[in-house]
Structure 1
Amino acid sequence: MHETIRFAWGISSLGDFLLAVSEKGIVALEFSSARMATEDALRMRFPQAVLERSDEGIASMTAIVAGLVDDPAAGCNLPLDLRGTPYEKQVWQLLREIPAGQTTSYGALAGRLGTRDAREVTAAIASNPVAVIVPCHRVIKKDGSISGYRWGVRRKHVLLARERQPVAPEKRIENRCGRRAGYPARGVVVCAVDLAGKPAAHCATGGQRVGNPGCAVSGRRGK
């Protein structure tokens, strides 16, 4: 039986992005303005899967991602379903261990993997399919200069700058689950969600919009 991968396009302060999810979690998060080409690349990457456009079905997840782009230091609890070689997944896990606001070098990562040759590490980083959440933007050259980035060096500069000056915690939204949710997109509460794009069973907001009398959001939108 073929697996189903749902995808949707979102809009962020750093441009349009495609979000694709399996039953287990996010398989792709890519910035792109070339929508047709990006969707074709997704089909080529998952030739045995049924790809389903699901703008409404994963709307809450795309809203969380858009907020994370604005505040990449906030962290993200969305589940991931990383597909790659064992070595690539090992490198991607090391990327997720780099604290927000800090950077490392390709050589330092290679050293952690027991080799002096950073070429394989560089190739694995370049193959990372999930922007921001798997923070490959935190890897720079040994001399401290900004190196290439799969989704453009300008975006890398901006993400690093935002992590050096993160949004104050009191300006972030929190729901009753206590999960930090970043900024809502167009007034939508971005709470913990399940993979169907619906609020998780323990979330008290029910996905209502900010300002609704019944909304249980305990914070305010950042200005």
Structure 2
Amino acid sequence: MILQTTLATPLGLFTLAADEAGLCALLLPAEKATPKPTTREVAANSHPLLAEAANQLLAYLSGRLLVFDLPLSIHGTPFQQQVWQELLRIPYGQTRTYGELAERIGGRNKARAVGGAAHANPLAIVIPCHRLVGGGGKLTGFGGGLPMKQALLNLEHNTLNATRKNA
């Protein structure tokens, strides 16, 4: 059984879903959840993991959380899993190009495949595919739309700048 909830944030309504193993989906406001017979809508505070995921997402969006600490239940091909693990290694406030990430997992010729795996990422923000950019830093594809991607990158940049000024 997958439990799902919606969360109102300053950037719109997000959808969070969890199964018995961990958080399995975080959908951005522009993304639509596909209803499944095994999915049940619940209040976030009625499920400990969904409540914690909601708290961490709100903390991230307010600049108070730099790294998520949640049990994840992600399902994909071995290649997708490899890309998602590399996405988790991109530090907060930094970006990598598709080519750079592809090079880390076997060669620049895999850049398109990296893009496909990033697009299939079920846990946007938690697995930070918004930190993946095109050559020269150009913003390219993002499930939540390019304005959302830019907003997330700006949030991280501004949070790091504020932290440095206060240090």
Could you say whether these structures have the same fold, taking a TM-score greater than 0.5 normalized by the shorter chain as the test? Answer: yes
**Is residue 109 from structure 1 mapped to residue 112 from structure 2 by the alignment?**
no
Find the aligned partners of 1:104 and 1:115 in 2 and give their Cα distance: 14
Contact 2:30 2:143 in 1 (8 A): no
**Is residue 122 from structure 1 mapped to residue 115 from structure 2 by the alignment?**
yes
**Is residue 166 from structure 1 mapped to residue 154 from structure 2 by the alignment?**
no
Deviations 1:10-60 (A, max 9, x none): 0111110100001111110001267xxx34x152xxx6xx21212132334
Match of 1:24 in 2: 21
Which has the larger Rg? Answer: 1
Find the aligned partners of 2:35 and 2:24 in 1 and give their Cα distance: 10
**Is residue 51 from structure 1 mapped to residue 39 from structure 2 by the alignment?**
yes
Match of 1:201 in 2: none
* RMSD of aligned alpha carbons: 2.0
State the secondary structure of the residue aligned to 1:129. Answer: coil
Structure 1 letter corresponding to 2:154: A
Find the aligned partners of 1:112 and 1:78 in 2 and give their Cα distance: 25
**Is residue 63 from structure 1 mapped to residue 51 from structure 2 by the alignment?**
no
For structure 2, list consecutive stretches of 5 or more residues without a partner in the other structure: none
**Is residue 100 from structure 1 mapped to residue 97 from structure 2 by the alignment?**
no
For structure 1, list consecutive stretches of 5 or more residues without a partner in the other structure: 170-223
Higher helix share: 2
Match of 2:129 in 1: 136
Contact 1:73 1:101 in 2 (8 A): no
Structure 2 letter corresponding to 1:139: L
What's the TM-score once normalised by structure 1's chain length?
0.65
Which deviates more, 159-168 or 134-143? 159-168
**Is residue 146 from structure 1 mapped to residue 139 from structure 2 by the alignment?**
yes
**Residues paired across the two proteins, number:** 157
> Following TM superposition, by how much is the alpha carbon of 1:161 offset from its aligned partner in structure 2, in angstroms?
0.9
State the secondary structure of the residue aligned to 1:74. Answer: coil
Structure 1 letter corresponding to 2:129: C
Find the aligned partners of 1:103 and 1:146 in 2 and give their Cα distance: 10
Q: 1:97 to 1:42 in 2, by over 3 A?
A: farther
Deviations 1:167-211 (A, max 9, x none): 767xxxxxxxxxxxxxxxxxxxxxxxxxxxxxxxxxxxxxxxxxx
Find the aligned partners of 1:17 and 1:65 in 2 and give their Cα distance: 9
Match of 1:185 in 2: none
Find the aligned partners of 2:78 and 2:121 in 1 and give their Cα distance: 13
Q: 1:11 to 1:110 in 2, by over 3 A?
A: same
Q: 1:22 to 1:72 in 2, by over 3 A?
A: farther
User: Identity percentage over the alignment?
Assistant: 34
